[in-house]
Amino acid sequence: MVTLDDLPLRDDLRGQKPYGAPQAPLPVALNVNENTHPIPAEVADDIAESVAKAVSGLNRYPDREFAELREGFASYLGHGLAADQIWAANGSNEVLQHVLQAFAGPGRSAFGFAPTYSMYSLLVRGVGSTWIAGERGARFELEPGDAARQVREADPDVVFLCAPNNPTGTRLPLDVVEAVYEAARGIVIVDEAYVEFAGDEQPSAITLLPGRERLLVSRTMSKAFAFAGARVGYLAADPAVVDALRLVRLPYHLSAVTQAAASAALRHSETMLRTVSDIVVQRDRISATLEALGYDPYPSASNFVLFGGVDDPADTWRRLYDRGVLVRDIGIPGHLRVTAGTEAETTAFLDALAALRDA
């Protein structure tokens, strides 16, 4: 049997582990920050009809520039954005990969404040760049002066800012983005995958785009839009950045089916986003109950809650698993993370965790 060690793998990939969370057919899966609410029937019907029309033309290549979809994203984001400022790909991970292919690569580096989204470092290493991990405060917060200092000292080609941060749920004030941008000489990416859950207290970094040609703001349809299975991510940036991303994308990278489905979903954005308020209610319910149970939940502006005070995360994870509830052990000692699901799913998690406390 051949193993990785027997293959002529790149030296910088040896010993690395692929991204992945446990997949299991449990009744309550709250481990990968999905929107667990189903797509409304009327929206699903429109998506199905749009996809059916696209299927009839699958003998032809799709629109290489996905013009309709870019117009849809520009309209959804607002702030005077035009279609030539929009880029999209198969999930925000591919969007970020395009950015790294264009602006990072061998001999270059990328920086992020740990702990943060674990795919950043994997994507960075995947393009042959060096990953540099900065530090956060005691409660995972960032302060403008210290964040700028760390970026200046690291001098990276690309900076990742996750707003709100995954896996901690921490808000990212715009003054931190501004300070980091001024301190950086290269690209600064603000990843707003969860921003729809943050409310008005988390203004979008899209407001900072004018006059900042090195600033990029990425989003996803996987979370608030309950569209994880469709794999659609996008970003807003200066048109010149979009031109740079064209240099590295694969030909016709967004299928006609993907474009049709995403455009249909955007036409129903208000309906698709109605679950956001319900999820926020469950998120806050989780935090309050965790605190009452003696755990230490961190303030979250996302659709999940990171909580400390877990004596043995691996054992707690397993015991919840045995009760049909799947959460995430993200490797921070004494911590676990749980997605805010439906009311019934949230109740199942909280009841299971309380039962462990009482056992």
pLDDT for 242-275, tens place per residue? Answer: 999 999 999 999 999 999 999 999 999 999 999 9
pLDDT greater than 80 at residue 276: yes
Residue 80, number of CB atoms within 10 A of its CB: 10
Residue 359 has pLDDT above 80, yes or no: no
* pLDDT single digits (tens) 204-236: 999 999 999 999 999 999 999 999 999 999 999
Q: In this model, does residue 358 exceed pLDDT 80?
A: no
> Which pLDDT score, from 0 to 100, does residue 283 have?
98
* CATH architecture for the domain at 4-30+274-358: Alpha-Beta Complex (3.90)
Q: Residue 42 has what pLDDT? A: 94
- What is the pLDDT at residue 244? 98
Domain 41-268 has CATH 3.40.640.10: yes
pLDDT > 90? residue 150: yes
Side-by-side strand order, sheet with 296-297: 296-297, 304-308, 336-339
Give mean pLDDT, residues 111-140. Answer: 97
The structure's pTM equals 0.95
pLDDT for residue 50: 97
**Across 76-89, average pLDDT:** 98
Contact (Cβ atoms closer than 8 angstroms) between residue 26 and residue 132: no
Averaged pLDDT of the chain: 96
> 338 with 28: CB under 8 angstroms?
no
Q: What is the pLDDT of residue 5?
A: 87
Q: Which amino acid is at 264?
A: A
Confidence of residue 26 (pLDDT cuts 50, 70, 90): very high
pLDDT at 23: 87
Is the link from the previous residue into 156 a cis peptide, with omega within 30 of 0? no
Query: Which residues, including other chains, have CB under 8 Å from residue 30's CB and lie 6 or more apart?
Result: 36, 325, 326, 327, 338, 339, 340, 341, 345, 349
Ranges 109-118, 197-206, 212-221: which has the least confidence: 197-206
Write down the pLDDT at residue 124. Answer: 97
Per-domain residue ranges of the chain? 4-30+274-358, 41-268
Inform me whether the pLDDT recorded for 20 exceeds 80: no
pLDDT at residue 12 above 80?
Answer: yes
pLDDT more than 70, % of the chain:
100
Average pLDDT over residues 188-216: 96
- Torsion sign across C-alpha atoms 260, 264, 267, 271: negative
